[in-house]
Amino acid sequence: MPDAAASPQAEPIATLSGNEPLFIVFNAGSGSDDAAETRRKIEQRLDEAGRVYTIFTVDRPKHLPQIAEMAVARARQADGVVVAVGGDGTLNAVAATVLPTGLPFGILPRGTFNYFGRTYGISRETDEAVASLLDARIEPVQVGLLDGRPFLVNASLGLYPQLLEDREVYKQMLGRRRWVALLSALVTLMRTPAQLTLELLSHGQHQVLRTPTLVVGNNSLQLEQIGIPEVAHLEEGRLVAMLAKPVGTLALYGLLLMGAMGRLGDASRVISFGFEALTVRVRGRRRIKVAMDGEIHWARTPLHFSVSPKRLQLLVPRDTSRLDRS
């Protein structure tokens, strides 16, 4: 179990001159809009501003980590800024490479829900997001860790990764729209979810719970929208765990509805709590499927959740009138 004392330390906040070269990792496969048009808008805005930039295009997801490393290496040599263009999964992959370096990190969000960008007022509209990038300040933001791997929004196991997998199938057929995500969730919940027996160890306390899913949140906007009262723990350098008690299909539909109404925290079948470090053992499982910011992979148990001792040096809009959480 990670040391709970290894909490984020106060770091000096870097300043920007406004002339730093930009090294942009552009995921052409993210988002529902046209990638070529998005790239044209980005280039036009940056050219008009006279900003020096290099775009690294990602055509295949498997190349994303390697291309992110190339962009970070170039940015370190030139004292530049790394910028990620894509959905939460893309932002996660690039941020994971940027985080250890302390380099400034900018985002131009293109994802379906854009929770990370919206939390810090960064618009999904390309022109507005580029304008904010060109007039930004640095805000150090908290990052969660699962077995040392960073996540920005959430990490999960059980039913939630299955929801994400099914959602991706529906998106391939129907497009990347929020209503498609809702439709796929309704279909997934029709199947009886498997129940996991989890042993949770945090701050010296041990408990055993049965649940269809565990979600660990690191995003205030998402927690506020579904109505989890422990959202305040994020401001205290903690993460928030959420579990559902064993329930059937109808009860899961009820929880989905309460989340949509922003009242999930009122549900008697939901358990939530804040923590600095949490170890999770899954009885009967040596490996389990986990999701981190929408990307799914296999992990060995036990799982260790913690807060990163380093903060991400995120570029956010300097002009508060540009803040966009819609």
Q: Is pLDDT of 186 > 80?
A: no
**Mean pLDDT value across residues 11-35:** 82
Same domain, 292 and 164: yes
Q: Does 98 score more than 90 pLDDT?
A: yes
Answer yes or no: do 227 and 317 share one domain.
no
Greater confidence, 189 or 119? 119
Query: Of all residues in the chain, what percent carry a pLDDT higher than 70?
Result: 75
90 and 197 within one domain: no
- Written as six digits, the tokens of 271 are 């358990």
Is position 51 within any domain?
Answer: yes
261 pLDDT tier (thresholds 50, 70, 90): very low
Q: Are 262 and 227 in contact (CB under 8 A)?
A: yes
**Segment (H or E) for 209:** strand 205-211
Statement to judge: residues 300 and 314 lie in one domain = no
Q: What is the spatial distance between Cα 66 and Cα 292, in angstroms, rounded to a whole number?
A: 19
Express each pLDDT in 54-96 by its tens digit.
999 999 889 999 999 999 999 999 999 999 999 888 999 999 9
| Mean per-residue pLDDT of the chain | 84
User: Which pLDDT score, from 0 to 100, does residue 182 have?
Assistant: 59
3-state SS assignment for residue 277? strand
Residue 35 lies in a domain: yes
* 156 and 299 assigned to the same domain: yes
Instruction: Note whether residue 82 is domain-resident.
Output: yes
| CA-closest candidate to residue 61, choices 93, 101, 108, 107 | 93
pLDDT band (50, 70, 90) for residue 267: low
Of residues 323 and 125, more confidence is placed in: 125
Task: Looking at the structure, tell me whether residues 64 and 48 fall in a common domain.
Answer: yes
Domain tally, the chain = 2
Nearest 10 degrees: Cα torsion 283, 291, 82, 140: -60
Q: Is residue 239 part of a domain?
A: yes
Give the residue, 153 or 267, on which the prediction is more confident: 153
Structural domain includes residue 17: no
Pairing of strands 53-58, 22-27: parallel
Is 10 inside a domain boundary?
no
Same domain for 220 and 161? yes
Same-domain status, 296 and 158: yes
Which domain, by its residues, includes 63? 22-143+310-322
Cα torsion 206, 209, 212, 218: sign: negative
* H or E segment to which residue 200 belongs: strand 196-202
CB distance 64 to 52 below 8 Å: no
Residue-level pLDDT at 312: 97
* pLDDT at residue 185, as a whole number: 54
Residue 266, domain CATH: 2.60.200.40
- Residues 190-224 have pLDDT tens digits of 565 678 999 999 989 999 999 888 999 999 998 99
Confidence bin at 1 (pLDDT 50/70/90): very low
- For residues 112 and 27, membership in a common domain is answered with yes
Q: At what angle do helices 178-188 and 249-260 cross, to 10 degrees?
A: 160
pLDDT-wise least confident of 23-27, 36-40, 135-139, 161-165: 161-165
Higher pLDDT, 117 or 270: 117
9 or 315, higher pLDDT: 315
How far apart, in whole angstroms, are the C-alpha atoms of residue 67 and residue 78?
17
85 in a structural domain:
yes
Task: Examine the pLDDT at 252 and tell me if it is beyond 70.
Answer: no
Question: According to the model, what pLDDT value does residue 4 have?
Answer: 41
**Residue 63 sits in the same domain as residue 178:** no
Q: Where are the alpha helices (DSSP H) in the chain?
A: 35-49, 64-78, 88-98, 115-119, 126-134, 159-174, 178-188, 220-226, 249-260
**Local structure of 315: helix, strand or coil:** strand
Q: What's the rounded mean pLDDT across residues 171-189? A: 55
pTM for this predicted structure? 0.84
pLDDT of residue 28: 86
Q: Are residues 280 and 158 in the same domain?
A: yes
For the residues of 79-94, what is the DSSP string, one character each?
A: T-EEEEEESHHHHHHH
Asked if 306 and 276 count as a contact pair (C-beta separation under 8 A), the reply is yes
Instruction: Give mean pLDDT, residues 121-130.
Output: 93
- 105 and 207 in a single domain? The answer is no
CA 30 – CA 117 distance, rounded (Å): 14
Residue 9 maps to a domain: no
pLDDT digits (tens, 9 = 90+) for 138-173: 999 999 999 999 999 999 998 766 666 655 654 555
Domain harbouring 61, CATH code? 3.40.50.10330
